[in-house]
Amino acid sequence: MIRTARVVLLARVWKDKVLRDHVELDGYLSEVLRAVSKPDHIEPDPTYEQRRRFHLRKVGPSRWLLVVAGYEQEPGRIISAFGNRKDPRSWSA
């Protein structure tokens, strides 16, 4: 069960994880934060029960901006972000 609505993005995660793995997101920090605060779609992570996937359309380097947040601790933390061309599995326009 997810008990918190608060999510943070640690500077070291942004720099050492997200931007290292997805350099194309450089310059999209505000959009990553917006994907969590005002997403177009949210779905559970298919692999980890304590994670959620937040999707924001038509921003970033691709059709969708996908942000993964983990709620294994409080506050929740953004653990990954990347562009995605495919619609989310449970998306219906």
Q: What is the pLDDT of residues 15-45, one digit of tens each?
A: 999 999 999 999 999 999 999 999 999 999 9
Is residue 92's pLDDT more than 80?
no
Please give the pLDDT value at position 4. 54
Tokens, residue 45 = 């992570």
Please give the pLDDT value at position 25. 96
**Pair 78, 36: CB distance under 8 Å:** yes
CA distance 53 to 55: 7
From residue 24, give the alpha-carbon distance in Å to each of 3, 27, 74, 77: 32, 8, 29, 21
Quick: pLDDT tens for 77-86. Answer: 999 999 999 8
Tokens, residue 70 = 């983990």
